[in-house]
């Protein structure tokens, strides 16, 4: 039994406040236990240079943490020095979101997704993907409503979950204290059909036996199906 | 009567969620109409170089806007280019907060206040000061509780309000649409005793006759006394 | 009587060397006691992005201090790190200067005003505004002479003065030593008609009673009328 | 059969020039087909701030590409703007290398590993890890030789390989043209014992069925054992 | 005869206002025709990291141009982007100044020399060296006066002159128009004894025959002796 | 006799690996003793802003050192802070290369030359120019081959050599240890006809008598003719 009375394979309480920000077409406040991430999405008529003369649009993400979001010590704003961890995470988020629709359906447009951590208690990148999935779906609806695209493109819903290995035990959806003690940390992004979108496995403290890794991925795929059900309720 | 049915001299609805963030000693979500600013405060045992060998502590503020906080267009993160307006506003906030206590009472410590605009609808710098006043007071209490300082120093409570002049009418607590049309914009920070802490008057579109300016400041002082009463309820 | 034998309400000696720089259409070396600021103004056919498709031109200012301008310690060049104080001041200058003409009269053009402090002895932002007023007026004349605009637009002359409060005494046009000891510092920018353009009141050390504040603003307006007379002699 | 006559599961020719640079304790020129990465490693007596007062040392990596390393277009130097992809990759490399030894054995020291891509033809991050493994092992030997640490700590050898999925075919060690066309790209870092160190799976174009993913990881582990054998020959 | 009625080998009028800035120990306003450079020098008790544990002090220079100093177009401040030409020139100035005294005589101290171009009309780097020579000599005197060093170290006076080659004619001390048309530009820094301190010869438009190059250097050395005489008058 | 058994006027062994990088039209690995510099050149259809509306193309250079290239201590990447020495050197290289062809022959094109020091043992800027000369010549050939320009423009071959003065002895092509001890360092770039392209003479430790300087330049011109012969063999 974990300190917060969860079973090893139990998610924390997950909830979303959709349309949290009135100023943007899509937004969601994503909570996963004590982790809170504000996700917003806006579209603009512009594509990055490498898509000029293509028939595709683009989805990109930025991730950051508010200065007071962690307990240890204030997170420095990125004015003087870019935070490399944030860069890595936003690339992870952006790639995941780009698999959710056929980018040709938003030709000529870029959707900018911003995930800002309000309060951090482990699993922020996953909470960011889950809230961003919702904000993105809302924004695509707005694009239809605003008649900048004609039909809602089919959306493949995805979700993300973090799973840790600590003393050979598999723990789902780590909070900060659990994450700190984990030997390995695996982030699985997978789709409503149970297919894999992205996997990031890190084994700083101890390497991961192959069979345990596969078990972790199996569990992650199941958990993500649970999370996607929650997300879809708000659409 | 204004579009949102307020009298010219009426504030928008003001509310605070104190202790919004569990990870920091003092925080408040400050709402003023549709403007929402998250204010957090942390202390650390360190003073800026210019206070080395003095008997003073320091209070400093940073202000920023989340990318999705405004409706017009996404606010660029300050990773590539610092936003000059943010710099000006955070200096305004920091100076105001430094008048609230005798800095000798926090000798050896710096209190970092962060005001991040979640949603912008006019008056963000004032909502930031009001929420920061609350977060700061909470943090000073925590410092006593944590026994890093001995007694709660006397706190002079302050508040801030924005007042506009539009077609010779005085409008209190402008929202974004009103601010956009205003001829002049005056921000008044004043104390619970009705004394002046800071004034920033800008007259981009039209200059301000002296007697109107004085009337505006009078009103601002009254309104701030109202706001301070609200703030004090949460202490 | 003050250390430099001035009455409390007396300005320091103010003088201007107009057309100090041959390479630009308008320039002035602005001296106020031992404070020396070089002000230059150039126009270019270009407007900032937010004025595209408008019928307005723009005036913007940049402020900096030369490395050897202060006695305490060398001012770091802003190559590695932007100086936040400079940013705040240049925004103050720019806003003031934009009230001096109808921006529609310079449609399609931006006038860049640069104020660089050669020697600092208090009141640099005010000396910058005063010298920039002169450089700007000269530049607008040049624009007519160069036939990029047709008629000299009516210019509303403005000036700026810093007034301090020290031990309840009001001191006009503080030098560095006086500024250092002041309890509060009020910068008033006002027009030749006695109307207010900008006010920045800072009360870091002690708050300002309302009636004293109004008295200070009254004095500032009077002093600025004196300064504007001097400026106009050089036009 | 692939364009370069390889079987789908065949690695490109892999070779190393160890001790390529005379100025550093450990270095290797790592070639994998036409991909060439120069890897150097230096140690210094210093640990990052978060390890002060711990009993651990640190290993960190930086990755970059030389301006002429790719055919498409010149890679901009990171002087004006950091390349986010490089940041993500260097974090991937650093984490992998930190699993190779017990960091307590290099207490008080940081080993800086630099991987600079001389010529890019796909799989640069993997070639970087493979060459860095060799450079790191050489550097640890030098530390013993230089008597800054007492005994060679046990080294867990690791290697990395990139595997792509294209039209449901699994292709090992993609070159640039293959990578460009791949539906999904999986980078597997694993140890000489066949355990997993890091996995990065990206499915931008198409999601990955779970069973194919596991097959890919299985193959990656086998291929890395082949590569580790090559690396060990140079120790 | 040149446009400004000078002989080919004639310097422009050169003058110095020593002690132009009251706030620093040494300063000079250096004029060479219409080129005006403000040179200031300050010392501080600190040496750069590479001189820690040595018995030497250091002299370093920074060079910049004020935004309104040139006629063509406003010089961008270096806040967003460092000006590479300025970096090259300040290194040229710093090296030259470091030959003027035995750096052991200012052990533990760094003298910072700043050369800021107020008005540019060709030859700014040479006017900067000439004015800096004077400011530096003044500062070294102040160090003795302030008793931070014991005796005035022997100073080797140096000066700098720019010489151009245009259509096979040698032109001394080019102004902007002449510089623009020159085929080659040679900057000679030499000492009061006629020895060479630094030479920078650039032949962008046309290469320089060896014998002409030697003639130019000969002339430069002669001209610098003239300039040094002027500088020494102010000591 | 020097430590490495060379005569004072003898060059180190110089060699080039042309076409070292397959991805760019021109490249060369330039070795001079233990100094190794990778030089690459690419062309693009674009000219810098100051050549808009002219009939010229442009050649520009960038220079940097890989982190592990020196023995003393790791060279910091320029991500956080630009290396001023690199800036100075790349300007030196760029100017030299621009004399080699008539820029009108590459109208509308910019050739970017990159020189990255793989291993540093003195004379890196000269090895960079020599390798870049070769890479540039190859690239110009490619431009003809790619039919972006019609005829190979006449190329004036140039080379560069560093000559030091140590205890009144003239030493050609200094390695790192010799450079460290030299009283003066003169870099001569000259053409196949023996004309001067650029000279950079630095006399940090001791000034240079004029006649010795001329002797050094004479020797440099001779040595460069030797080097140019080697370069031309690879064309």
Give dist(CA E222, CA B68) in Å, integer.
66
| Predicted local distance difference test score (pLDDT) of residue A182 | 93
Please give the model's pTM, rounded to 2 decimal places: 0.95
Q: CA–CA separation, D149 vs D107, rounded Å?
A: 9
For residue D109, the model assigns a pLDDT of: 97
Average pLDDT over every residue of A113-140: 98
Distance to chain F for E29, nearest Cα, Å: 26
Evaluate whether residue B45 is within a structural domain: yes
Please state, in angstroms and rounded to a whole number, the distance separating the CA atoms of residues D77 and E43.
36
Buried-state track A34-72, b at ≥16 Cβ within 10 A, e below 16: bbbbbbbbbbeeebeeebeeeebbbbbbbbbbbbbbbee
User: What is the reported pLDDT for C142?
Assistant: 95
Q: How sure is the predictor about D132, in pLDDT bands with cuts at 50, 70 and 90?
A: very high
D33 located within any domain: yes
Per DSSP, which regions of chain D are E strands? 14-18, 26-32, 35-45, 58-65, 109-119, 158-166, 169-172, 184-191, 196-202
d(CA E210, CA E201): 12
A2, part of any domain: no
- What is the nearest CA distance from A14 to chain D, expressed in angstroms? 25
Mutate to test the interface with C, among B78, B84, B180, B186 (most CBs of C within 10 A): B84
E135: phi then psi, degrees, rounded to nearest 5: -60, -40
Query: Partners for F (CB, 8 Å, 3+ pairs)?
Result: D, E
pLDDT at D174: 96
Would you say residue B3 lies in a domain?
no
Mean confidence (pLDDT) of chain B: 95
To test the contact with chain F by mutation, choose from E190, E207, E216, E217 the residue with the greatest count of F C-beta atoms within 10 A, namely E207
State mean pLDDT over C167-195. 95
Question: Please, which pLDDT band fits residue A62 given cuts at 50, 70 and 90?
Answer: very high
- F117: containing domain: 14-232
The CA distance from D106 to the nearest CA of chain A, in Å, is 15
User: Looking at the predicted structure, is the pLDDT value of residue E217 above 90?
Assistant: yes
The strand pairing partners of C117, in sequence order, are C37, C65
| CB-CB under 8 Å, B217 with C196 | no
- Alpha-carbon gap, residue C133 to C144, rounded angstroms: 17
Model confidence pLDDT, tens digit, residues D33-64: 999 999 999 999 999 999 999 999 999 999 99
CA distance B143 to chain C (A): 22
Cβ distance E24 to C73 less than 8 Å, yes or no, reads no
Give the closest residue to F124 by CA, choosing from F171, F174, F158, F167.
Answer: F174
Instruction: Out of B216-230, C137-151, E71-85, F113-127, pick the least confident.
Output: E71-85
Instruction: Write out pLDDT tens, residues A188-225.
Output: 999 999 999 999 999 877 899 999 999 999 999 999 99
* Spatial separation of the C-alpha atoms in residues C179 and B197, rounded to whole Å: 17
> Helices F84-98 and E84-98 sit at what angle, rounded to 10 degrees?
110
Closest C-chain CA to E40: C68
Find which of C34, C42, C67 to mutate to test the E interface (most E CBs within 10 Å of its CB). Answer: C67
| C155 Cα distance to chain centroid | 16
pLDDT at A58: 97
Whole-angstrom Cα Rg for chain D:
18
Contact D161, D227 (CB under 8 A): yes
Flag whether E3 is in a domain: no
On whether the CB atoms of residues E110 and E60 are closer than 8 A, the answer is yes
Residues 6+ apart with CB under 8 A from F136: F26, F41, F59, F97, F100, F111, F113
Decide if D8 is inside a domain.
no
Query: What does the DSSP 8-state code read for residue D5?
Result: S
pLDDT in tens, B156-183: 999 999 999 999 899 999 999 999 999 9
**What pLDDT score was predicted for residue F81?**
84
Question: ipTM value of the model?
Answer: 0.94
Residues of chain C with C-beta less than 8 angstroms from the C-beta of E44: 73-74
**Nearest 5°: CA angle at A157, between A154 and A160?**
155
Identify any residues that bridge with E112 across adjacent strands, giving them in sequence order: E42, E60
Distance of residue B40 Cα from the nearest chain A Cα, in angstroms? 6
Touch between chain D and chain C: 3 or more Cβ pairs under 8 Å = no
Largest Cα span, chain D: 56
The number of distinct structural domains making up chain E is 1
Q: Which of A162, A209, A215 is nearest to A186 (CA)?
A: A162
pLDDT at E71 over 80: no
Tell me the average pLDDT across E196-209: 91
B197 is a domain residue = yes
Cα distances (Å, whole numbers) of residue C50 to B83, B119, C55, C104: 15, 21, 11, 14
Cβ–Cβ < 8 Å for D196, D190: yes
Tell me the pairing of strands B196-202 and C14-18: unpaired
Check residue A205 and give its pLDDT. 75
Torsion sign (Cα): B235, B36, B184, B95: positive
Strand partners, B39: B28, B115
Residues 6 or more apart in contact with residue D119 via CB below 8 angstroms: D34, D35, D36, D69, F21, F22, F23
CB A115 within 8 A of CB A37: yes
> Could you tell me which residues come within 8 angstroms of residue B49 by beta carbon, excluding any fewer than 6 positions away?
none
Give yes or no for residue B184 having a pLDDT over 90. yes
Rounded distance, CA A42 to CA A64, Å? 17
Name beta bridge partners: A188: A161, A199
Name the residue of chain D whose CA is nearest to F84's CA: D79
Biggest distance spanned by C-alpha atoms of chain F: 56
Whole-number pLDDT of residue C175? 96
- Separation between Cα atoms, residue D174 and residue D179, nearest integer Å: 5
d(CA C231, CA A116): 51
Pick D214's closest partner by Cβ from A91, A206, A214. A214
Quick one: tokens of F66?
Answer: 């890989």
Per-residue confidence (pLDDT) for residue A183, from 0 to 100: 93
Q: Read out DSSP for chain A?
A: --TTS--TTPPPPEEEEET--TTSSEEEEEEETTEEEEEEEEEEE---GGGTTSS--EEEEEEEE-TTS-SSSPPPPTTSS--HHHHHHHHHHHHHHHTSS-GGGGTTEEEEEEEEEEE-SS-HHHHHHHHHHHHHHHHHHHHHHTTSSSSPPP---EEEEEEEEETTEEEES--HHHHHH-SEEEEEEEETTS-EEEEEEE-SSS-B-HHHHHHHHHHHHHHHHHHHHHHHHT-
* Alpha carbon distances (Å) from B49 to B53, B54, C34, E113: 9, 10, 28, 24
Please report where in the chains the tokens 């054992």 appear, as a residue: D225
3-state SS of B63-88? EEECCCCCCCCCCCCCCCCCCHHHHH
Phi, psi values for residue E73, rounded to 5° = -160, 155
Q: How far apart are CA E229 and CA E98, in angstroms?
A: 20
Q: What angle do CA F178, F184, F185 make, to 5 degrees?
A: 70
Cβ pair C78, C86 in contact under 8 A = yes
DSSP C103: G
3-state SS string for D74-110: CCCCCCCCCCHHHHHHHHHHHHHHHCCCCHHHHCCEE
Based on its alpha-carbon atoms, the radius of gyration of chain C, rounded to whole angstroms, reads 18
Structure tokens at F83: 């290396």
pLDDT score at D150 = 87
- Domain assignment of residue C63, yes or no: yes
Counting as contact any 3 or more CB pairs under 8 A, the partners of E are C, F
Cβ atoms of C122 and C33 within 8 Å: the answer is: yes
CATH of the domain at E153: 3.30.230.70
């Amino acid at each position: 039994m974990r300190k917060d009375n969860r079973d090893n394979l139990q998610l924390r309480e997950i909830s979303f406040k959709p349309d949290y920000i009135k100023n943007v077409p899509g937004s969601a406040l994503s909570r996963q236990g004590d982790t809170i991430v504000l996700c917003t999405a806006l579209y603009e008529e512009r594509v990055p240079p490498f898509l000029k003369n293509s028939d595709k649009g683009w989805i990109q993400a930025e991730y950051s943490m508010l200065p007071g979001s962690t307990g240890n010590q204030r997170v420095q704003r990125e004015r003087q020095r870019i935070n490399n961890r944030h860069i890595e995470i936003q690339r992870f988020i952006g790639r995941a979101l780009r698999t959710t629709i056929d980018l040709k359906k938003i030709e000529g447009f870029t959707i900018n997704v911003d995930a800002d951590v309000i309060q951090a208690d482990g699993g922020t990148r996953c909470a960011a993907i889950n809230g961003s999935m919702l904000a993105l779906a809302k924004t695509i609806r707005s694009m239809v409503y605003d008649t900048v695209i004609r039909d809602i493109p089919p959306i493949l819903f995805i979700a993300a979950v973090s799973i840790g290995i600590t003393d050979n035990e598999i723990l789902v959806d780590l909070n900060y204290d659990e994450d700190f003690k984990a030997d390995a940390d695996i982030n699985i992004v997978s789709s409503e059909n149970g297919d894999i979108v992205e996997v990031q496995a890190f084994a700083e403290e101890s390497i991961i036996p192959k069979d345990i890794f596969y078990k972790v991925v199996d569990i992650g795929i199941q958990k993500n199906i649970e999370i996607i059900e929650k997300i879809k309720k708000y659409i």
